[in-house]
Amino acid sequence: MEDRLARRHFITTADWKVEELEQLFQTAADFKERFKRGELTPVLQNLTLFMLFFEQSTRTRNSFEAGMTQLGGHAHDLTPDKMQISHGETPYDTGAVLSRYGHAIGIRNCFWKLGNRYIRDVARGASVPVFNLQCDWYHPCQAAADLMTVRERFGAEELRGRKFVVSWAYAPSYQKPLSVPQSLILLMPRFGMDVVLAHPPEFSLRPELLQQAQGLAKAAGTRFEIVHDMDAAFEGAHVVYPKSWGCMLHTEDLEESAAVAARYKSWICDDSRMALAASECAYMHCLPADRGHEVTDAVIDGSQSIVFDEAENRLHVQKALMALTMTGDKRGEY
C-alpha cells in the first residue's frame, strides 16, 4: 500500500482532497473485486483497531469488524460501560492510551453537541488514525460508500450535471442525527453532482455546513440549493436520498420535535414521487429505513432501489480506509 494517506484521521471527508478520496475509491473497488474472487488480502496482519460505540450499530460495527478480519487484523468492540469512560476518563487520555496498544481508533458518538467534540478530543490525544464512525456532525464512511455506489451505478466519469436530492422524510421512531445529510451535501458536489437539499423549514442543517457545502459546490463548478418542497426536489432527479433527521436547530425538546415532525407525514418516498424523477433515478437510504413512513415497500424493494449495494460498499470503502491509513509510524494527522 502507498503511504500517501498513512496515519491520516478520517473525521469528515472535507478534510481530504479530491485526489485522496479518489485513491480511497480506487482501493475500495480493488478490494471489492478481490473479495468477489475469494482472494485473501491480509495487508494489515496482526494490527489492531479499537472500535468505541456509544450507540447501537448494525452496518458500521459489522462492516468494520468483518473488514478488519479480512485484512488480517483484529477489531476490539468496545462500549463506554466496558471502559473507564463511564467513570470520567477524558477523551484525550482514552486516545493516548489506546494508541499505545493498537493501530487505529474508530468512534461512534452521536450525542447532540458532544459527539464531534469527543472524537476530535480523542484525536488530539491519539498517535494513531482516528475514524469517525458517526457523530452529531458527520458520517463520512456512509457518505463515501454512497458515492462509491453512485459511481458504480452511473460511471465515475458520468456524474457531472446529475441531480442528487437529499430530502428529509417523516419517521416516528426517534430524532435521528443530522450527520448523514450533512456529510452528503459536503461530498457529492465535489464529484460533479448538483445537490438539492429538501426539508420542511424546521429541519434545517447546521448553517456553517450549509455555507461550506455552497463553497465546495462553487469550487467544483456544481450547484447546491435548498428547497422546502419534496415534489419540486424530486423533479428530474437522478438520485434521491429521502431520510429522516431531527429538528435540533429548531427545538431540542423531544416531544415538541415529534409534534413538529407529525405535521409532515406526507413527506414519504412513494411511487408517485419516484415518477417525478428521471427514468433512471436511483433510490438510496443509509438504513435502517422506517418502512411505511420514510419510504413505501414498493420503492425500497423495487428495481430503482440500491440500498443493499450501499450497505455492501460500506465494507469495501472501510477496508480501503484502514489499509491506506493504518500504516507507518504511529502519528495521527489531520
Superfamily holding 13-138+312-325:
Aspartate/ornithine carbamoyltransferase (3.40.50.1370)
Residue 1's pLDDT is what?
A: 47
- State the cell numbers at 322: 484502514
For 269, list phi and psi in degrees, rounded to 5: -90, 110
- Give just the sign of the alpha carbon dihedral 84, 85, 87, 93: positive
May I ask the CATH class of domain 142-307? alpha beta
Do 258 and 172 form a contact (C-beta atoms < 8 A)?
A: yes
The pLDDT tens digits for 33-75 are 999 999 999 999 999 999 999 999 999 999 999 999 999 999 9
- 168 - beta bridge partners? 243
- Residue 4 pLDDT level (bands cut at 50, 70, 90): confident
Closest to 261 measured CA to CA, from 158, 169, 191: 169
- State the cell numbers at 168: 428529509
The pLDDT tens digits for 126-135 are 999 999 999 9
Closest to 161 measured CA to CA, from 220, 114, 90: 220
- State the cell numbers at 182: 450533512
The pLDDT tens digits for 71-104 are 999 999 999 998 999 899 999 999 999 999 999 9
Strands in the chain per DSSP E: 48-53, 74-78, 104-109, 130-135, 163-168, 194-198, 224-227, 239-243, 282-283
Largest CA distance in the chain: 55
**What does pTM read for this prediction?**
0.96
Residue 2's pLDDT is what?
A: 54
Residue 173's pLDDT is what?
A: 87
Domain(s) of CATH 3.40.50.1370: residues in the chain: 13-138+312-325, 142-307
